[in-house]
A and B are shown apart, each in its own frame.
Chain A
Protein backbone atom coordinates (compact mmCIF):
# COMPACT_ATOMS: atom_id res chain seq x y z
CA UNK A 1 0.00 0.00 0.00
CA UNK A 2 1.34 3.37 -0.98
CA UNK A 3 -0.18 6.71 -0.36
CA UNK A 4 -0.72 9.19 -3.15
CA UNK A 5 -1.54 12.80 -2.62
CA UNK A 6 -2.93 14.11 -5.89
CA UNK A 7 -3.53 17.75 -6.90
CA UNK A 8 -4.58 18.84 -3.45
CA UNK A 9 -5.84 22.40 -3.09
CA UNK A 10 -6.71 23.90 0.24
CA UNK A 11 -7.20 27.58 1.08
CA UNK A 12 -8.21 29.45 4.19
CA UNK A 13 -9.94 32.45 2.73
CA UNK A 14 -7.37 34.23 0.63
CA UNK A 15 -4.48 32.18 1.95
CA UNK A 16 -3.57 29.31 -0.34
CA UNK A 17 -1.97 26.74 1.92
CA UNK A 18 -1.90 23.82 -0.49
CA UNK A 19 -1.90 24.51 -4.21
CA UNK A 20 -1.78 21.58 -6.56
CA UNK A 21 0.24 19.62 -4.05
CA UNK A 22 1.41 16.16 -5.10
CA UNK A 23 3.33 13.54 -3.21
CA UNK A 24 3.81 9.79 -3.32
CA UNK A 25 4.75 8.06 -0.06
CA UNK A 26 6.26 4.62 0.19
CA UNK A 27 4.74 2.54 2.98
CA UNK A 28 7.94 0.83 3.92
CA UNK A 29 9.75 3.99 4.92
CA UNK A 30 9.38 6.53 7.72
CA UNK A 31 8.63 9.96 6.33
CA UNK A 32 9.37 13.29 7.89
CA UNK A 33 7.90 16.65 6.94
CA UNK A 34 10.45 19.27 7.79
CA UNK A 35 9.85 22.97 7.38
CA UNK A 36 9.09 26.31 9.00
CA UNK A 37 5.88 26.71 11.00
CA UNK A 38 2.95 27.98 9.06
CA UNK A 39 4.09 26.41 5.81
CA UNK A 40 1.12 24.06 5.71
CA UNK A 41 2.45 20.83 7.21
CA UNK A 42 -0.33 20.43 9.76
CA UNK A 43 -2.95 21.25 7.14
CA UNK A 44 -1.49 18.54 4.91
CA UNK A 45 -1.62 16.02 7.77
CA UNK A 46 -5.20 16.97 8.56
CA UNK A 47 -6.17 16.52 4.94
CA UNK A 48 -4.43 13.16 4.78
CA UNK A 49 -6.30 11.94 7.86
CA UNK A 50 -9.64 13.25 6.64
CA UNK A 51 -9.97 15.80 9.45
CA UNK A 52 -10.03 18.53 6.82
CA UNK A 53 -11.67 18.30 3.43
CA UNK A 54 -9.47 19.56 0.62
CA UNK A 55 -11.01 22.11 -1.75
CA UNK A 56 -10.08 19.75 -4.55
CA UNK A 57 -7.80 16.83 -5.26
CA UNK A 58 -7.64 13.47 -3.58
CA UNK A 59 -5.77 11.23 -1.20
CA UNK A 60 -5.45 7.73 -2.59
CA UNK A 61 -4.92 4.91 -0.13
CA UNK A 62 -6.69 1.69 0.70
CA UNK A 63 -10.10 2.32 2.18
CA UNK A 64 -10.95 1.96 5.85
CA UNK A 65 -7.56 3.01 7.10
CA UNK A 66 -7.27 3.46 10.84
CA UNK A 67 -5.19 6.38 12.02
CA UNK A 68 -3.08 6.49 15.14
CA UNK A 69 -2.80 10.23 15.27
CA UNK A 70 -0.60 12.20 17.62
CA UNK A 71 -1.81 15.77 17.51
CA UNK A 72 0.23 18.85 18.14
CA UNK A 73 -1.74 19.33 21.34
CA UNK A 74 -2.34 16.32 23.54
CA UNK A 75 -6.16 16.39 23.21
CA UNK A 76 -6.93 14.35 26.32
CA UNK A 77 -10.29 14.28 28.06
CA UNK A 78 -9.85 16.15 31.35
CA UNK A 79 -12.51 14.06 33.15
CA UNK A 80 -10.78 10.76 32.44
CA UNK A 81 -7.69 9.29 34.01
CA UNK A 82 -4.61 8.57 31.96
CA UNK A 83 -5.66 4.94 31.74
CA UNK A 84 -9.21 5.77 30.70
CA UNK A 85 -7.99 8.21 28.09
CA UNK A 86 -5.88 5.53 26.45
CA UNK A 87 -8.60 2.89 26.80
CA UNK A 88 -11.14 5.21 25.18
CA UNK A 89 -9.89 4.41 21.68
CA UNK A 90 -10.18 0.66 22.32
CA UNK A 91 -13.88 0.58 23.14
CA UNK A 92 -14.80 -2.24 20.80
CA UNK A 93 -12.22 -4.61 22.22
CA UNK A 94 -12.42 -7.20 24.98
CA UNK A 95 -11.65 -5.86 28.49
CA UNK A 96 -8.65 -8.13 29.01
CA UNK A 97 -7.14 -6.99 25.73
CA UNK A 98 -7.79 -3.34 26.59
CA UNK A 99 -6.17 -3.72 30.00
CA UNK A 100 -3.07 -5.34 28.53
CA UNK A 101 -2.76 -2.88 25.63
CA UNK A 102 -3.17 0.16 27.84
CA UNK A 103 -0.56 -0.95 30.35
CA UNK A 104 1.80 -1.96 27.58
CA UNK A 105 1.49 1.41 25.83
CA UNK A 106 1.85 3.35 29.05
CA UNK A 107 5.02 1.49 29.89
CA UNK A 108 6.40 2.31 26.42
CA UNK A 109 6.07 6.01 27.21
CA UNK A 110 7.27 5.49 30.81
CA UNK A 111 4.03 6.46 32.46
CA UNK A 112 3.05 3.18 34.10
CA UNK A 113 3.01 4.79 37.53
CA UNK A 114 0.62 7.52 36.44
CA UNK A 115 -2.23 5.48 35.01
CA UNK A 116 -4.68 6.67 37.69
CA UNK A 117 -3.78 10.35 37.37
CA UNK A 118 -5.96 12.94 35.72
CA UNK A 119 -4.35 14.97 32.91
CA UNK A 120 -4.54 18.16 34.96
CA UNK A 121 -2.12 16.62 37.48
CA UNK A 122 0.51 15.94 34.82
CA UNK A 123 3.08 18.17 33.16
CA UNK A 124 2.72 19.16 29.51
CA UNK A 125 5.36 16.68 28.46
CA UNK A 126 3.65 13.86 30.36
CA UNK A 127 0.32 14.66 28.76
CA UNK A 128 1.98 14.55 25.37
CA UNK A 129 3.29 11.09 26.22
CA UNK A 130 -0.21 9.96 27.16
CA UNK A 131 -1.34 10.98 23.70
CA UNK A 132 1.53 8.97 22.24
CA UNK A 133 0.48 5.97 24.36
CA UNK A 134 -3.05 6.36 23.04
CA UNK A 135 -1.74 6.25 19.47
CA UNK A 136 0.31 3.14 20.27
CA UNK A 137 -2.58 1.33 21.93
CA UNK A 138 -4.85 1.96 18.96
CA UNK A 139 -2.39 0.29 16.58
CA UNK A 140 -3.63 2.16 13.53
CA UNK A 141 -2.57 1.31 10.00
CA UNK A 142 -1.11 4.78 9.89
CA UNK A 143 1.00 6.44 12.55
CA UNK A 144 0.68 10.17 11.97
CA UNK A 145 2.60 12.44 14.32
CA UNK A 146 2.43 16.20 14.40
CA UNK A 147 5.46 17.40 16.37
CA UNK A 148 5.27 14.50 18.79
CA UNK A 149 8.39 15.43 20.76
CA UNK A 150 7.64 19.07 21.28
CA UNK A 151 8.56 20.24 24.76
CA UNK A 152 10.23 16.99 25.83
CA UNK A 153 13.75 16.96 27.19
CA UNK A 154 16.53 15.19 25.34
CA UNK A 155 16.87 11.90 27.22
CA UNK A 156 13.18 11.25 27.29
CA UNK A 157 12.86 12.25 23.66
CA UNK A 158 15.44 9.69 22.68
CA UNK A 159 13.72 6.97 24.67
CA UNK A 160 10.45 7.87 23.02
CA UNK A 161 11.95 7.85 19.57
CA UNK A 162 13.40 4.43 20.33
CA UNK A 163 9.96 3.34 21.50
CA UNK A 164 8.39 4.63 18.31
CA UNK A 165 10.98 2.88 16.20
CA UNK A 166 10.44 -0.36 18.11
CA UNK A 167 6.73 0.00 17.63
CA UNK A 168 7.28 0.64 13.96
CA UNK A 169 9.42 -2.45 13.51
CA UNK A 170 6.80 -4.52 15.30
CA UNK A 171 3.66 -3.24 13.56
CA UNK A 172 4.99 -1.62 10.39
CA UNK A 173 2.36 1.09 10.24
CA UNK A 174 2.48 3.71 7.53
CA UNK A 175 4.46 6.34 9.42
CA UNK A 176 5.01 10.02 8.86
CA UNK A 177 5.67 12.91 11.19
CA UNK A 178 6.26 16.62 11.39
CA UNK A 179 9.18 18.15 13.19
CA UNK A 180 11.21 21.34 13.43
CA UNK A 181 14.12 19.58 14.98
CA UNK A 182 16.94 18.37 12.73
CA UNK A 183 18.14 15.75 15.21
CA UNK A 184 14.65 14.28 15.62
CA UNK A 185 14.30 14.07 11.87
CA UNK A 186 17.65 12.37 11.44
CA UNK A 187 17.08 9.96 14.29
CA UNK A 188 14.09 8.09 12.90
CA UNK A 189 13.20 9.27 9.39
CA UNK A 190 14.09 7.47 6.19
CA UNK A 191 12.84 10.20 3.89
CA UNK A 192 12.91 13.84 4.84
CA UNK A 193 10.86 16.30 2.83
CA UNK A 194 12.12 19.83 3.17
CA UNK A 195 9.11 22.05 2.79
CA UNK A 196 8.42 25.72 2.41
CA UNK A 197 5.36 27.84 1.88
CA UNK A 198 2.57 28.71 1.86
CA UNK A 199 1.57 27.55 -0.62
CA UNK A 200 3.51 24.51 0.41
CA UNK A 201 6.11 23.08 -1.93
CA UNK A 202 8.78 20.43 -1.58
CA UNK A 203 12.19 22.05 -1.80
CA UNK A 204 14.14 18.88 -1.46
CA UNK A 205 13.79 15.26 -0.56
CA UNK A 206 16.60 13.65 1.37
CA UNK A 207 16.89 9.89 1.71
CA UNK A 208 18.75 8.83 4.79
CA UNK A 209 20.62 5.67 4.00
CA UNK A 210 22.09 5.05 7.46
CA UNK A 211 20.53 2.00 9.16
CA UNK A 212 18.51 2.89 12.25
CA UNK A 213 20.59 0.68 14.48
CA UNK A 214 23.69 2.72 13.73
CA UNK A 215 22.22 6.16 14.16
CA UNK A 216 22.41 6.07 17.93
CA UNK A 217 25.83 4.43 18.18
CA UNK A 218 27.52 6.19 15.24
CA UNK A 219 26.04 9.67 15.03
CA UNK A 220 28.96 10.80 12.87
CA UNK A 221 27.37 8.91 9.98
CA UNK A 222 24.56 11.48 10.05
CA UNK A 223 26.90 14.46 9.93
CA UNK A 224 26.62 15.05 6.18
CA UNK A 225 22.85 15.01 6.32
CA UNK A 226 22.89 17.33 9.27
CA UNK A 227 25.01 19.84 7.36
CA UNK A 228 22.67 19.70 4.42
CA UNK A 229 19.59 20.18 6.56
CA UNK A 230 21.02 23.07 8.54
CA UNK A 231 22.27 24.67 5.33
CA UNK A 232 18.79 24.74 3.95
CA UNK A 233 17.51 26.31 7.05
Chain B
Protein backbone atom coordinates (compact mmCIF):
# COMPACT_ATOMS: atom_id res chain seq x y z
CA UNK B 1 0.00 0.00 0.00
CA UNK B 2 2.74 2.37 1.04
CA UNK B 3 4.63 1.42 -2.06
CA UNK B 4 1.66 2.25 -4.27
CA UNK B 5 1.24 5.61 -2.58
CA UNK B 6 4.90 6.35 -3.02
CA UNK B 7 4.90 5.45 -6.64
CA UNK B 8 1.79 7.59 -7.11
CA UNK B 9 3.59 10.55 -5.64
CA UNK B 10 6.45 9.83 -7.97
CA UNK B 11 4.15 9.78 -10.95
CA UNK B 12 2.68 13.11 -9.89
CA UNK B 13 6.13 14.64 -9.59
CA UNK B 14 7.14 13.24 -12.94
CA UNK B 15 4.04 14.65 -14.65
CA UNK B 16 4.61 18.09 -13.13
CA UNK B 17 8.23 17.97 -14.26
CA UNK B 18 7.22 17.02 -17.78
CA UNK B 19 4.68 19.83 -17.87
CA UNK B 20 7.38 22.36 -17.05
CA UNK B 21 9.62 20.92 -19.72
CA UNK B 22 6.73 21.22 -22.15
CA UNK B 23 6.30 24.87 -21.17
CA UNK B 24 9.99 25.42 -21.79
CA UNK B 25 9.67 23.80 -25.18
CA UNK B 26 6.63 25.93 -26.10
CA UNK B 27 8.46 29.09 -25.04
CA UNK B 28 11.41 28.01 -27.15
CA UNK B 29 9.12 27.52 -30.14
CA UNK B 30 7.34 30.84 -29.60
CA UNK B 31 10.50 32.90 -29.15
CA UNK B 32 12.16 31.01 -31.96
CA UNK B 33 15.61 32.43 -31.21
CA UNK B 34 17.99 29.89 -29.69
CA UNK B 35 20.18 32.73 -28.45
CA UNK B 36 17.42 33.88 -26.06
CA UNK B 37 15.80 30.58 -25.20
CA UNK B 38 17.72 27.45 -26.16
CA UNK B 39 16.02 24.15 -26.88
CA UNK B 40 15.87 21.42 -24.29
CA UNK B 41 17.90 19.08 -26.43
CA UNK B 42 20.70 21.60 -26.96
CA UNK B 43 20.91 22.26 -23.21
CA UNK B 44 20.92 18.54 -22.46
CA UNK B 45 23.61 18.02 -25.06
CA UNK B 46 25.68 20.79 -23.47
CA UNK B 47 25.12 19.26 -20.05
CA UNK B 48 26.15 15.84 -21.26
CA UNK B 49 29.22 17.34 -22.90
CA UNK B 50 30.14 18.84 -19.54
CA UNK B 51 29.80 15.84 -17.31
CA UNK B 52 31.87 13.50 -19.44
CA UNK B 53 34.80 15.91 -19.10
CA UNK B 54 37.16 15.40 -16.14
CA UNK B 55 37.65 19.15 -15.89
CA UNK B 56 33.97 19.51 -15.09
CA UNK B 57 34.36 17.53 -11.88
CA UNK B 58 37.43 19.52 -10.91
CA UNK B 59 35.42 22.68 -11.41
CA UNK B 60 32.56 21.35 -9.32
CA UNK B 61 34.94 20.29 -6.58
CA UNK B 62 36.59 23.70 -6.51
CA UNK B 63 33.26 25.55 -6.36
CA UNK B 64 31.86 23.24 -3.72
CA UNK B 65 35.00 23.73 -1.68
CA UNK B 66 34.60 27.52 -1.82
CA UNK B 67 30.98 27.49 -0.73
CA UNK B 68 31.67 25.06 2.09
CA UNK B 69 34.73 26.98 3.22
CA UNK B 70 32.71 30.20 3.33
CA UNK B 71 29.88 28.49 5.10
CA UNK B 72 32.25 26.87 7.58
CA UNK B 73 33.78 30.23 8.45
CA UNK B 74 30.33 31.74 8.87
CA UNK B 75 29.36 28.87 11.18
CA UNK B 76 32.46 29.26 13.32
CA UNK B 77 32.09 33.01 13.67
CA UNK B 78 28.31 33.10 13.55
CA UNK B 79 27.90 30.63 16.40
CA UNK B 80 30.70 31.89 18.64
CA UNK B 81 29.95 35.60 18.22
CA UNK B 82 26.22 34.86 18.20
CA UNK B 83 26.39 33.05 21.54
CA UNK B 84 28.43 35.88 23.07
CA UNK B 85 26.07 38.53 21.70
CA UNK B 86 23.06 36.58 22.92
CA UNK B 87 24.52 36.52 26.41
CA UNK B 88 25.88 40.04 26.47
CA UNK B 89 23.61 42.93 25.52
CA UNK B 90 26.44 45.42 25.19
CA UNK B 91 28.32 43.24 22.73
CA UNK B 92 25.08 42.75 20.80
CA UNK B 93 24.60 46.51 20.54
CA UNK B 94 28.16 46.78 19.26
CA UNK B 95 27.91 44.04 16.62
CA UNK B 96 24.32 44.63 15.53
CA UNK B 97 24.88 47.77 13.40
CA UNK B 98 27.78 46.01 11.66
CA UNK B 99 25.58 43.04 10.77
CA UNK B 100 22.77 45.32 9.67
CA UNK B 101 25.20 47.18 7.42
CA UNK B 102 26.36 43.92 5.84
CA UNK B 103 22.75 42.95 5.18
CA UNK B 104 21.94 46.29 3.57
CA UNK B 105 25.04 46.39 1.37
CA UNK B 106 24.60 45.07 -2.18
CA UNK B 107 26.61 41.89 -2.73
CA UNK B 108 28.27 43.41 -5.75
CA UNK B 109 29.93 46.10 -3.59
CA UNK B 110 31.46 43.44 -1.44
CA UNK B 111 32.58 41.46 -4.46
CA UNK B 112 34.33 44.48 -5.92
CA UNK B 113 36.12 45.31 -2.68
CA UNK B 114 37.00 41.63 -2.20
CA UNK B 115 38.55 41.59 -5.68
CA UNK B 116 40.95 44.23 -4.44
CA UNK B 117 41.65 42.50 -1.14
CA UNK B 118 41.98 38.84 -2.04
CA UNK B 119 43.31 36.36 -4.56
CA UNK B 120 40.64 35.46 -7.12
CA UNK B 121 40.07 31.97 -5.71
CA UNK B 122 39.43 33.35 -2.23
CA UNK B 123 36.97 36.05 -3.23
CA UNK B 124 33.94 33.66 -3.38
CA UNK B 125 34.90 32.18 -0.02
CA UNK B 126 34.93 35.61 1.55
CA UNK B 127 31.65 36.56 -0.10
CA UNK B 128 29.80 33.43 0.92
CA UNK B 129 31.15 33.88 4.45
CA UNK B 130 30.02 37.49 4.53
CA UNK B 131 26.53 36.69 3.30
CA UNK B 132 26.00 33.62 5.50
CA UNK B 133 27.42 35.08 8.68
CA UNK B 134 24.50 37.49 9.38
CA UNK B 135 21.97 34.69 8.92
CA UNK B 136 23.73 32.32 11.30
CA UNK B 137 24.48 35.10 13.75
CA UNK B 138 20.89 36.36 13.84
CA UNK B 139 19.45 32.88 14.33
CA UNK B 140 21.91 32.02 17.07
CA UNK B 141 21.28 35.30 18.90
CA UNK B 142 17.51 34.86 18.77
CA UNK B 143 17.95 31.25 19.90
CA UNK B 144 19.99 32.30 22.91
CA UNK B 145 17.57 35.09 23.79
CA UNK B 146 14.66 32.73 23.50
CA UNK B 147 15.97 30.45 26.23
CA UNK B 148 13.90 29.68 29.29
CA UNK B 149 15.55 31.74 32.05
CA UNK B 150 14.19 29.32 34.60
CA UNK B 151 16.51 26.63 33.28
CA UNK B 152 19.45 28.97 33.65
CA UNK B 153 18.37 29.83 37.18
CA UNK B 154 18.25 26.13 37.97
CA UNK B 155 21.74 25.64 36.53
CA UNK B 156 23.09 28.51 38.61
CA UNK B 157 21.50 27.28 41.83
CA UNK B 158 23.14 23.91 41.21
CA UNK B 159 26.42 25.76 40.58
CA UNK B 160 27.00 24.37 37.10
CA UNK B 161 30.08 25.79 35.47
CA UNK B 162 29.56 28.41 32.80
CA UNK B 163 31.15 26.24 30.14
CA UNK B 164 28.82 23.41 31.07
CA UNK B 165 25.78 25.70 30.96
CA UNK B 166 26.77 26.73 27.45
CA UNK B 167 27.46 23.18 26.27
CA UNK B 168 24.53 21.40 27.90
CA UNK B 169 21.84 24.06 27.91
CA UNK B 170 22.50 26.86 25.44
CA UNK B 171 23.89 24.84 22.54
CA UNK B 172 21.18 22.14 22.49
CA UNK B 173 18.60 24.87 22.85
CA UNK B 174 19.82 26.85 19.83
CA UNK B 175 20.16 23.75 17.65
CA UNK B 176 16.81 24.15 15.83
CA UNK B 177 17.52 27.87 15.30
CA UNK B 178 20.97 26.97 14.06
CA UNK B 179 19.65 24.30 11.67
CA UNK B 180 17.14 26.71 10.16
CA UNK B 181 19.95 29.23 9.73
CA UNK B 182 22.23 26.74 8.00
CA UNK B 183 19.53 25.71 5.52
CA UNK B 184 18.93 29.34 4.62
CA UNK B 185 22.65 30.07 4.45
CA UNK B 186 23.31 27.09 2.18
CA UNK B 187 20.90 28.37 -0.44
CA UNK B 188 22.19 31.91 -0.31
CA UNK B 189 25.83 30.84 -0.06
CA UNK B 190 25.64 29.03 -3.38
CA UNK B 191 24.16 31.92 -5.24
CA UNK B 192 26.51 34.60 -3.97
CA UNK B 193 29.54 32.36 -4.29
CA UNK B 194 28.79 31.65 -7.94
CA UNK B 195 28.15 35.35 -8.54
CA UNK B 196 31.50 36.16 -6.98
CA UNK B 197 33.18 33.55 -9.21
CA UNK B 198 31.67 35.20 -12.29
CA UNK B 199 33.53 38.37 -11.43
CA UNK B 200 36.71 37.02 -9.88
CA UNK B 201 37.42 34.28 -12.47
CA UNK B 202 39.20 31.62 -10.49
CA UNK B 203 40.81 29.04 -12.76
CA UNK B 204 38.43 26.27 -11.70
CA UNK B 205 34.98 27.66 -10.98
CA UNK B 206 31.37 27.32 -12.09
CA UNK B 207 31.08 31.09 -12.15
CA UNK B 208 34.06 31.49 -14.48
CA UNK B 209 32.40 29.06 -16.89
CA UNK B 210 29.10 30.90 -16.69
CA UNK B 211 31.03 34.01 -17.59
CA UNK B 212 32.75 32.49 -20.61
CA UNK B 213 29.47 30.93 -21.79
CA UNK B 214 28.04 34.42 -21.76
CA UNK B 215 31.12 35.84 -23.51
CA UNK B 216 30.74 33.32 -26.35
CA UNK B 217 26.96 33.79 -26.38
CA UNK B 218 26.65 30.05 -25.77
CA UNK B 219 23.16 30.07 -24.23
CA UNK B 220 22.75 26.27 -24.00
CA UNK B 221 26.00 26.07 -22.04
CA UNK B 222 24.84 28.93 -19.81
CA UNK B 223 21.64 27.03 -19.10
CA UNK B 224 23.55 23.81 -18.53
CA UNK B 225 25.83 25.39 -15.93
CA UNK B 226 22.85 27.02 -14.25
CA UNK B 227 21.15 23.66 -14.01
CA UNK B 228 24.30 22.31 -12.42
CA UNK B 229 24.19 25.06 -9.77
CA UNK B 230 20.53 24.37 -9.05
CA UNK B 231 21.10 20.63 -8.76
CA UNK B 232 24.06 21.06 -6.45
CA UNK B 233 22.08 23.43 -4.29
CA UNK B 234 19.25 20.87 -4.05
CA UNK B 235 21.65 18.08 -3.21
CA UNK B 236 23.26 20.06 -0.43
CA UNK B 237 20.00 21.16 1.08
CA UNK B 238 18.57 17.68 1.10
CA UNK B 239 21.75 16.23 2.58
CA UNK B 240 21.63 18.81 5.32
CA UNK B 241 17.91 18.34 5.91
CA UNK B 242 18.56 14.63 6.28
CA UNK B 243 21.33 15.26 8.75
CA UNK B 244 19.12 17.66 10.70
CA UNK B 245 16.39 15.05 10.83
CA UNK B 246 18.80 12.38 12.04
CA UNK B 247 20.19 14.61 14.75
CA UNK B 248 16.69 15.53 15.87
CA UNK B 249 16.06 11.85 16.49
CA UNK B 250 18.96 11.67 18.92
CA UNK B 251 17.91 14.88 20.58
Using a CB–CB distance below 8 Å, which chain A residues touch chain B? 49-51, 66-67, 69, 71, 73, 75, 77, 79-80, 88-89, 91, 134, 138
Q: Does B183 contact A (CB under 8 A)?
A: no
Assess A73 versus B164: contact at CB under 8 Å? Given A66-B159, A79-B172, A138-B158.
no
Cβ A51 vs Cβ B160 within 8 A: no
**Partner among B151, B160, B173 whose Cβ is within 8 Å of the Cβ of A89:** B160
Cβ A89 vs Cβ B172 within 8 A: no
Cβ B158 vs Cβ A67 within 8 A: yes
Q: Does B251 contact A (CB under 8 A)?
A: yes
Assess A75 versus B168: contact at CB under 8 Å? Given A66-B159, A69-B157, A89-B158.
no
Cβ B154 vs Cβ A69 within 8 A: yes
Q: Bound state CA distance, A71 and B251, in angstroms?
A: 25
Assess A73 versus B150: contact at CB under 8 Å? Given A66-B159, A88-B160.
yes
Give A49's nearest chain B residue, CB to CB. B157
Assess A77 versus B157: contact at CB under 8 Å? Given A88-B168, A91-B164.
no
Give, as a whole number of angstroms, the nearest-CB distance from A132 to chain B: 13
**Partner among A71, A79, A91 whose Cβ is within 8 Å of the Cβ of B154:** A71
Give, as a whole number of angstroms, the nearest-CB distance from A221 to chain B: 36
28 contacts between A and B (CB under 8 A): A49-B157, A51-B153, A66-B159, A67-B157, A69-B154, A69-B157, A69-B158, A71-B150, A71-B154, A73-B150, A75-B150, A75-B153, A75-B154, A77-B151, A77-B169, A77-B172, A79-B172, A79-B173, A79-B251, A80-B168, A88-B158, A88-B160, A88-B168, A89-B158, A91-B160, A91-B161, A91-B164, A134-B158
Q: Total A-B residue pairs with C-beta atoms closer than 8 Å?
A: 37
Q: Does B119 contact A (CB under 8 A)?
A: no
Give, as a whole number of angstroms, the nearest-CB distance from A134 to chain B: 8
Q: Does B156 contact A (CB under 8 A)?
A: yes
Give, as a whole number of angstroms, the nearest-CB distance from B153 to chain A: 5
Interface size on B, residues (CB 8 A): 16
Give B168's nearest chain A residue, CB to CB. A88
Contact with A along B113-156 (1 / 0, CB 8 A): 00000000000000000000000000000000000001101101
Give B250's nearest chain A residue, CB to CB. A79
Q: Bound state CA distance, A8 and B183, in angstroms?
A: 51
List residues of chain A with CB within 8 A of the CB of B150: 71, 73, 75
Q: A66-B159, A75-B151, A75-B154 are in contact. List 9 more A-B contacts (CB 8 A).
A: A50-B157, A71-B153, A75-B150, A77-B151, A79-B173, A88-B168, A89-B158, A134-B158, A138-B158
Give B157's nearest chain A residue, CB to CB. A69
Cβ A51 vs Cβ B156 within 8 A: yes
Give, as a whole number of angstroms, the nearest-CB distance from A65 to chain B: 10
Give, as a whole number of angstroms, the nearest-CB distance from B131 to chain A: 30
List residues of chain A with CB within 8 A of the CB of B173: 79
Give, as a whole number of angstroms, the nearest-CB distance from B114 to chain A: 39
List residues of chain A with CB within 8 A of the CB of B169: 77
Q: Bound state CA distance, A101 and B160, in angstroms?
A: 17
List residues of chain B with CB within 8 A of the CB of A134: 158
In chain B, positions 159-189 with a C-beta closer than 8 Å to chain A are 159-161, 164, 168-169, 172-173
Give, as a whole number of angstroms, the nearest-CB distance from A189 to chain B: 22
In chain B, positions 93-114 with a C-beta closer than 8 Å to chain A are none
Give, as a whole number of angstroms, the nearest-CB distance from A98 to chain B: 14
Q: Bound state CA distance, A91 and B158, in angstroms?
A: 10
Q: Bound state CA distance, A49 and B168, in angstroms?
A: 23
List residues of chain B with CB within 8 A of the CB of A88: 158, 160, 168
**Partner among B153, B156, B159, B168 whose Cβ is within 8 Å of the Cβ of A77:** B168
Give, as a whole number of angstroms, the nearest-CB distance from A23 to chain B: 20
Q: Bound state CA distance, A73 and B172, in angstroms?
A: 21
Of listed B151, B154, B156, B164, residue having the most chain A CB within 10 A: B154
Q: Bound state CA distance, A88 and B169, in angstroms?
A: 10
List residues of chain B with CB within 8 A of the CB of A49: 157
Give, as a whole number of angstroms, the nearest-CB distance from B241 to chain A: 20
Give, as a whole number of angstroms, the nearest-CB distance from B238 to chain A: 25
Cβ B157 vs Cβ A51 within 8 A: yes
List residues of chain A with CB within 8 A of the CB of B156: 51
Give, as a whole number of angstroms, the nearest-CB distance from B30 to chain A: 56
Give, as a whole number of angstroms, the nearest-CB distance from B154 to chain A: 4
